[in-house]
């Protein structure tokens, strides 16, 4: 009983501190501040199990995004989340004491704790491989791939020492990020964020970038990758707009999700105090750059970025000693990392394709259920995984990676283009087989009625021959 009482007091204290810090966040516009605080309030309330108060102005639809993709067994109460955060925090203290004074020739020792298996350690040694299996790594780390991978990369680059980051705060920050991804989303969850972070690391290692990027670029590149879809609701921007969601109003129907991911990341950075020891001007500058990177992942603005990239490549005027140009390349790298699934080996790529389609179709099901116009890509009655992938590869992925390969003509780029081509072939063959089997099936349905009547009729085209 005594332990339960102490835990309760600790939880109440933590919630009070967290609430105080949230209250301290300030934003430029008063309206935005009010809306954002209201949004945070809704999130906090829904997390602690209250019915959200604001239901939007839409007369017939309210969707609680926290339960949108939930399955009964996946539902987790918020108190469990807070306890888990606290436990993670304490476990880290234990492991940091354990590893205190560990020799520098064992860099992995700083980040490993009792949860790691030998296989996860081995995987981290090959984190720069393009065929890195993030699904396996996530299983080996008990669903903590984002925390462990990002911590490892920060450590690998020496960012903890360079920026004098408090390791406990960093760990806590990463746990909060991971927890703020919705594990119920089939695709936009923490494993996708970990996958994008791993891809980003591969690009940061490419010679042109590795030779020129500063420590600040590396820090922001990894941070942006890890947070770029933070608190993603599992539905797209048009859905938020047509349901009059408050996020659409807050960001004036423009890059709604990306703005939310950015502001959520800034909220967690401030809540964790990770960068609070840095001068205010530097910190604000980093928050702005983080936003600029995350906003670049808005797929509806892809053509703007792509034409600017093409122009630079045609002119050959990209100079990576120039800070602005380096930032632009980081934006392009993050865009590539975000949509690189079709450039992974088939075994990984196929899993991602199925997950993203499941999320699309789920949105379509909700739209149909509530008599909303069903988004074309989300209609399971007129689409298939293969069709969606073939279009996505042809119109979105390939144009981007063709330009990236012009910029960074390396073995990695050749590997990615080769996988892209093979995967396209795989989906085309899959679609052909599916179409052939469905036409066979419809043929067989007609056969009993037509077989006898047509049995003595010559096949079409042979008449008169």
Q: Which residue's CB is nearer to Zn ion, number 95 or number 341?
A: 341
Contact 68, 56 (CB under 8 A): no
The answer to whether the annotation marks 192 as part of a ligand binding site is yes
CA 291 to chain centre: 15
Q: What dihedral do alpha carbons 287, 290, 291, 293 form, nearest 10°?
A: 160
Q: Which of 69, 152, 182, 188 is catalytic?
A: 188
Q: Are 228 and 338 in contact (CB under 8 A)?
A: yes
CB of 339: closest distance to Zn ion in angstroms?
Answer: 8
Taking the complex as a whole, the smallest distance from the CB of residue 157 to Zn ion amounts, in Å, to: 22
Q: How far is the CB of 111 from Zn ion (least distance, A)?
A: 24
Q: What is the DSSP annotation of 332-345? A: HHHHHHHT-GGGS-
Smallest separation, CB 224 to Zn ion (Å):
11
Backbone torsions φ then ψ of 435, nearest 5 degrees: -65, -40
Q: What's the min distance (Å) between Cβ of 183 and Zn ion?
A: 15
Q: Please enumerate in sequence order all residues whose Cβ is within 8 A of that of 443, keeping only pairs 6 or more positions apart, or say none.
A: none
| Nearer to Zn ion among residue 287 and residue 338 (C-beta) | 338
CB of 191 to Zn ion, least distance (A): 11
Angstrom CA distances, 421 to 75, 391, 393, 425, 435, stand at 39, 13, 9, 6, 21
Determine whether 260 is an active site residue: no
- Residue 238 tokens, joined: 């048009």
Closest to Zn ion by CB, 133 vs 229, is 229
The verdict on whether residue 338 carries a ligand-binding annotation is yes
Provide the token pair at 360: 């699309």
Helices (H), 187-255: 190-204, 207-210, 215-227, 237-242, 246-250
Q: CB–CB of 237/256 below 8 Å?
A: yes
Q: Angle at the Cα of 18 (from 12 to 24), degrees rounded to 5?
A: 140
Q: How far is the CB of 81 from Zn ion (least distance, A)?
A: 22
- Determine contact, residues 351/342, Cβ cutoff 8 Å: no
Question: Which residues would be at the binding site for Zn ion (CB under 5 A)?
Answer: 229, 338
Q: Taking Cα atoms as reference points, which of 79, 23, 93, 74 lies closest to residue 50?
A: 79
Gyration radius from the chain CA atoms: 25
Indicate the residue among 165 and 348 with the shorter CB distance to Zn ion. Answer: 348
Which residue lies nearer to Zn ion by CB, 88 or 298?
Answer: 298
The verdict on whether residue 133 carries a ligand-binding annotation is no
Cβ partners under 8 Å of residue 196, min gap 6: 225, 226, 228, 229, 334, 337, 338, 340
CA–CA separation, 32 vs 23, rounded Å? 14
Under DSSP, the state recorded for 311 is: H
Q: 190 labelled as ligand-binding?
A: yes
- Give the max Cα distance, the chain: 97
Instruction: Confirm whether residue 228 is marked as ligand binding.
Output: yes
Is 277 annotated as a binding-site member?
Answer: no
CA distance between the termini of the chain: 95
Active site residues: 188
Residue list, annotated binding site for Zn(2+): 192, 228-229, 338
Residue list, annotated binding site: 188-192, 228-229, 338, 389
Residue list, annotated binding site for AMP: 188-192, 229, 338, 389
């Amino acid at each position: 009983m005594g332990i339960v009482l102490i835990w309760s007091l600790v939880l109440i204290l933590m919630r009070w501190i967290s609430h105080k810090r949230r209250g301290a966040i300030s934003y430029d516009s008063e309206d935005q501040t009010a809306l954002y605080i209201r949004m945070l309030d809704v999130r906090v309330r829904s997390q602690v199990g209250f019915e959200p108060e604001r239901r939007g102005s839409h007369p017939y639809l309210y969707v609680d995004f926290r339960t949108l993709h939930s399955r009964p067994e996946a539902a987790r109460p918020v108190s469990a989340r807070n306890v888990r955060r606290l436990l993670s925090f304490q476990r880290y203290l234990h492991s940091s004491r354990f590893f205190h004074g560990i020799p520098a020739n064992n860099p992995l020792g700083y980040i490993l704790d009792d949860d790691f298996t030998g296989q996860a350690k081995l995987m981290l040694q090959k984190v720069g491989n393009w065929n890195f299996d993030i699904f396996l790594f996530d299983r080996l780390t008990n669903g903590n791939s984002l925390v462990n991978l990002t911590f490892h990369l920060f450590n690998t680059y020496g960012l903890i020492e360079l920026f004098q980051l408090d390791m406990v705060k960093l760990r806590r920050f990463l746990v909060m990020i991971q927890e703020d991804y919705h594990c119920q989303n089939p695709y936009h969850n923490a494993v996708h964020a970990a996958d994008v972070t791993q891809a980003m690391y591969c690009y940061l290692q490419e010679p042109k970038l590795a030779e020129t990027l500063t420590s600040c670029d590396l820090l922001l590149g990894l941070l942006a990758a890890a947070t770029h879809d933070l608190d993603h609701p599992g539905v797209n921007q048009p859905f938020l707009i047509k349901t009059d969601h408050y996020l659409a109003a807050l960001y004036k129907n423009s890059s709604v999700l990306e703005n939310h991911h950015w502001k959520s990341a800034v909220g967690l950075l401030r809540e964790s105090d990770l960068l609070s020891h840095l001068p205010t001007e530097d910190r604000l500058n980093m928050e702005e750059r983080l936003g600029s990177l995350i906003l670049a992942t808005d797929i509806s603005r892809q053509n703007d970025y792509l034409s600017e990239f093409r122009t630079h490549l045609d002119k050959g005027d990209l100079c990576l000693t120039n800070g602005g140009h380096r930032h632009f390349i980081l934006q392009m790298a993050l865009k590539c990392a975000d949509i690189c699934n079709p450039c992974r080996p088939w075994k990984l790529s196929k899993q991602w394709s199925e997950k993203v389609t499941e999320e699309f179709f789920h949105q379509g099901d909700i739209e149909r259920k509530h008599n909303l116009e069903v988004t074309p890509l989300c209609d399971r009655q007129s689409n298939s995984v293969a069709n969606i992938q073939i279009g996505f590869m042809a119109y979105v992925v390939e144009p981007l990676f063709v330009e990236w390969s012009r910029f960074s003509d390396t073995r990695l780029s050749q590997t990615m283009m080769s996988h892209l081509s093979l995967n396209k072939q795989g989906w085309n063959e899959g679609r052909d087989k599916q179409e052939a089997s469905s036409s066979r099936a419809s043929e067989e349905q007609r056969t009993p009625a037509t077989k006898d009547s047509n049995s003595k009729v010559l096949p079409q085209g042979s008449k008169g021959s």
